[in-house]
Structure 1
Amino acid sequence: MRYFITLLICIALISMSSCRKDFSTVPSFGSLEFSKDTVFLDTVFTNIGSATYNLKVYNRGNKAITIPKITLENGSTSNYRLNVDGIPGKEFNDIDILAKDSIYVFVETTIDESTISDPLYTDRILFDNGANQQDVDLVTLVQDAYFIFPERDPITMKIDSLTIDGQATTIKGRYLTDTELIITKEKPTVIYGYAAVPANKTLTIEAGAKVYFHNNSGLIIDDKATLKVNGTLNEKVVFEGDRLEHRFNQTPGQWGTIWMRAGSKDNEVYHAQIKNGIIGILIDSIGSDTNPTLKLQNTEIYNHSNFGILARETNIEAHNVVIGAAGEASLAATIGGTYNFTHSTFANFWNNGIRQLPAVLVNNFFTYNDANGQEITETRALNAANFTNCIFGGNNNIEFVLDKVDGSLFNYNISNCMIQFNDASDSFTDVVELDFENNTNYQNIILNGFANFRDSQNEDFIIGQDSDAINKAKTTSFSFDILGIVRTTNPDIGAYQSITFE
């Protein structure tokens, strides 16, 4: 028994000592320093949680201090949430900081726009009180929005998935109702999961509209359905991820794709910006030589983790198009089809890893494994791959490839284009489709010229006065560039007329 009592006393002493501070502090006296005097939480949508922001609080003194109180000025009613040195809450007492040390304060918010009188929502973090009180401002802009999201089973709570062609899929989403088939600029539209346009219906997106996609979300234009994007020069339609914080401005892969399925028809995308997804546009529709599946005009497609456009046996007619960085190819026109691009700029300066494909890849085949595991290659007709007045550039040596497998048509014509093609290893010497001196298929080609882009790393592909593309395009019916600038009698190659950089 004596040993048992002794053991209990030892445990109690250890417990008491473990709860004691091993340092002494003095009260804070209003000399805290902060990593910033205002924490700006970038724009958030109503009822959607923000990212987490951090604030560092410094004790520059030679003694450890105790901050008697840290709180939000609006108290428990504040829409902000704090985490002080690992502890969540809205009010904290007796927070210690060692000499010459610091602590972190993390800030988040979720705000219902209908409960606030001003979309610019503010509060303050108060440190200490009385004469020693210091503060840091919190500022958030709140946007109201329309939300489109899949239903959830009330019993299992499982999110609904799409049924496509009569088959259940694992794609989270739902078909749009008739009342959702017009998207305006009145409020942003935020899409969770995939919003699908039903057969024989048209989704119209009006000038100035902004469409934001959550992670693993996008649009599906189903068989016999149509997408009309009616942006204008002064009111572009924007498609991007729903993370509006500045640090997500150039983060690829934030959402899925705009998928035009086989059989979708008469799609038109005019004056749009499509950025930061996995694939900007995935188009499977089998069109015809005379009726494009997609008309694409005055549109910018930037910073996608896989492809800017992945086209498979389809028909695209495009002019004044800019397709920038993508993890694989800016444009992959595959499995044959019909492609007509005029005054377009393909510039792939991907900097998030090694890129294996050129900026533009055109082929007429696909491969698959049969039931015996044998790889099978099938070809499809490339009715046309016509590129006129286009720039093909990027940070790889080879930025334009035609990849033909015998067995189907392979028609192409490249006219008045500037092509980056430095075949230092002679890998393509015997590829007849890449014989740039073949005047039947190539006319007036500038090989490895200087594009003089204004800021390629930030997807700014306006060309300057030193560009080799100036006055080298042929005259076409497209008399204005993507910015609405009149093309001269001797226009410039690419989507932009040249300017003088300041």
Structure 2
Amino acid sequence: MRQYFVFFIFGIILAFSSCRTDFDTVASTGDLKFSKDTVYLDTIFKNIGSSTYQLKVYNRSKNDISIPIIQLKKGLNSKYRMTVDGMSGNNGKIFNDVTLLAKDSLYIFIETTADITDANPVDFLYTDEIQFDSGANLQEVALVTLIQDAVFLFPQQNPDGTKEKIQIDGKAVDGFYLDENNPENGNELIFTNQKPYVIYGYAGVPEDKTVIFNAGARVHFHANSGLYVGDKASIQINGGISNTEKLENEVIFEGDRLESLYSGIPGQWKSVILSTQSINHSINHLTIKNAVIGLDIKTQNNPISIKNTQIFNCAQYGILAQNSEINGENIVINYSGLASLSCLYGGSYSFTHCTFNNNWPSSSQFAVNLSNALAGASPEANPLTKAVFNNCIIYGSGINEFNLSKNTNAAFVYQLNNCLLKFSSSSTNLLYQFKTDTEHYNNIILNENPRFYKPSENKFNIDKTSAAFAKGNQTYIIPLDILGVTRTSPPDLGAYQSQDFPK
């Protein structure tokens, strides 16, 4: 009886199988649909691979079809490469007899690596097409990539196969020293606006030398890379006021991934490090984006001027200073994993018309952190001889954006004058008596909204509805704001003079 039942079930399965048509395919008739007719792969540097981009292909018909060929028009010579539904085909260029079921779709993932010589010499675009089928059934989707030429700076390879290294804080890291007589690049200590620069590893500034960044210079750091200004070395950043949103005269430090996907991702590269014995630094109109630490300042006994500078999207700190001396004007910092500004182990600091904000999405970060101690240091405490904030905004998405950490074994001198400050929790700590402690706090606007224009886009302009409007003290005024706009009297707080927002 069991045998008859088994044969019965087998017969049913066989009958249904013979009726199915979805194992049979018909030739494609050129009626494929696509998620886009052109795939734009964002700008890349020459010979640096792009991100992966997606194209979806649809079969709207009731038939399972076979696409005889999917290929790049330039064939095996194309600088693009694809996978089609997980298949690599012939070197990612040519795919034969691809099946696409009825009412179904397939994914094509596209990448490219190309040289500037591959691009059109007029517009520097590299293009190709993905071809589906041929002849009367041919359908095409265009591929477009902008390739940017650049100066590449990187460690040399040693004879034993290891990379060149430099010493930073007693550790050997992949890096090299900039050469003022480089046979290929010329003077590497002068960065111009002629071409962008791409740095691999740490670029070091040699002792007794100064690295200069001219207005409009663009510097892109690869992962785990940075700039190291060593002992007796200097940095001068000579950016200028720009007239358009392209920031044509700004000096910009950022990562080397140019795709829009990476525009706001923190931690894409390491840091600009100013060593303990480095000297004579001047920074004006610098924008730093997407580092681990924007400016890692260890310089001692040598004042540093930082003016008209923006630092955004750092995984740890916008500015981290240790026992340093900084004079800061028109500085804007936002979105930092630990603190936008952190001044540790004492030092001397003066910040005027600055906007320190932190919209990092958790509650343990600060816009400003001050401390006169450092764990593991000897001695552990060091005098904070001055920390003065004039006409500043200290704000963010957290409850308290201002943090003081005082060690009683060393001086801790601080003062806030005419500042808008976010500190929402009540505190009996004597360090935070904003209304009654006139030695440390004068004319503090507490927990009022500065009404920034678009903080999610790092635009911290204000208008007349802001709580920071006309609340500054004329005594501390910096005549021009970060955009070069003349400040009125009384001035607004923060780095921006108020203007009407665009409609």
Q: TM-score, normalised by structure 1?
A: 0.90
Partner of 2:332: 322
Alignment counterpart, residue 395 of structure 1, candidates 390, 394, 397: 397
1:163-196 residue CA offsets vs partner (Å, 9 max, x unmatched): 357x5x3411111112210010100000001101
Say whether residues 1:267 and 2:281 are aligned partners: yes
Partner of 1:72: 72
Q: Secondary structure of 1:131's match? A: helix
TM-fit CA distance, 1:91: 1.1
Correspondence list, 1:11-160, <5 A: 23-88=23-88, 89-118=92-121, 119-155=124-160, 157-160=161-164
TM-fit CA distance, 1:226: 0.5
Separation of aligned partners in 2, 1:43 and 1:170? 33
Separation of aligned partners in 1, 2:404 and 2:98? 66
- Letter matched to residue 284 of structure 1: K
Alignment counterpart, residue 203 of structure 1, candidates 206, 211, 216: 211
Distance 1:336 1:434, change over 3 A: farther
Partner of 1:4: none
Q: TM-score, normalised by structure 2?
A: 0.89
Q: Secondary structure of 2:261's match? A: helix
Correspondence list, 1:346-495, <5 A: 346-351=356-361, 354-368=362-376, 378-423=380-425, 426=426, 428-432=427-431, 434-475=433-474, 476-495=476-495
Q: Secondary structure of 1:114's match? A: helix
In angstroms, what is the RMSD of aligned CA positions?
1.6
Separation of aligned partners in 2, 1:263 and 1:497? 36
Q: Secondary structure of 2:343's match? A: strand
Separation of aligned partners in 2, 1:407 and 1:433? 20
1:7-43 residue CA offsets vs partner (Å, 9 max, x unmatched): xxxxxxxxxxxxxx98111111111111111111111
Partner of 2:3: none
TM-fit CA distance, 1:388: 0.2
Separation of aligned partners in 2, 1:339 and 1:24? 77
TM-fit CA distance, 1:410: 1.3
Partner of 1:277: 291
Separation of aligned partners in 2, 1:442 and 1:213? 40
Q: Secondary structure of 1:29's match? A: coil
Say whether residues 1:161 and 2:165 are aligned partners: yes
1:436-463 residue CA offsets vs partner (Å, 9 max, x unmatched): 4211221111111120111112211111
Separation of aligned partners in 2, 1:53 and 1:152? 33
Q: Secondary structure of 1:449's match? A: coil
Which runs of 5 or more residues in structure 2 are unaligned?
A: 1-20, 181-186, 243-248
Separation of aligned partners in 2, 1:250 and 1:260? 25
Distance 1:410 1:149, change over 3 A: same
1:235-272 residue CA offsets vs partner (Å, 9 max, x unmatched): 00010000000110111110000011111111111111
- Letter matched to residue 91 of structure 1: I
Q: What's the % identity of the aligned pairs? A: 45
1:33-76 residue CA offsets vs partner (Å, 9 max, x unmatched): 11111111111111111111111111122211110111111122
Separation of aligned partners in 2, 1:183 and 1:40? 30
Q: Secondary structure of 2:414's match? A: strand
Aligned length: 464
Alignment counterpart, residue 193 of structure 1, candidates 190, 196, 201: 201
TM-fit CA distance, 1:110: 1.1
Q: Does the Cα contact within 8 Å between 1:188 and 1:212 map onto a contact in 2?
A: yes
Q: Secondary structure of 1:494's match? A: coil
Alignment counterpart, residue 311 of structure 1, candidates 300, 321, 333: 321
Alignment counterpart, residue 349 of structure 2, candidates 339, 344, 349: 339
Separation of aligned partners in 2, 1:434 and 1:259? 35
Separation of aligned partners in 2, 1:55 and 1:207? 40
Say whether residues 1:248 and 2:262 are aligned partners: yes
Distance 1:384 1:154, change over 3 A: same
TM-fit CA distance, 1:77: 1.8
Q: Does the Cα contact within 8 Å between 1:308 and 1:331 map onto a contact in 2?
A: yes
Which runs of 5 or more residues in structure 1 are unaligned?
A: 1-20, 370-375
Q: Does the Cα contact within 8 Å between 1:327 and 1:355 map onto a contact in 2?
A: no
Q: Does the Cα contact within 8 Å between 1:171 and 1:194 map onto a contact in 2?
A: yes
Q: Secondary structure of 1:173's match? A: strand
Q: Does the Cα contact within 8 Å between 2:418 and 2:443 map onto a contact in 1?
A: yes
Q: Does the Cα contact within 8 Å between 1:277 and 1:304 map onto a contact in 2?
A: yes
Q: Does the Cα contact within 8 Å between 1:402 and 1:434 map onto a contact in 2?
A: no
Separation of aligned partners in 2, 1:363 and 1:164? 24
Separation of aligned partners in 2, 1:176 and 1:445? 46
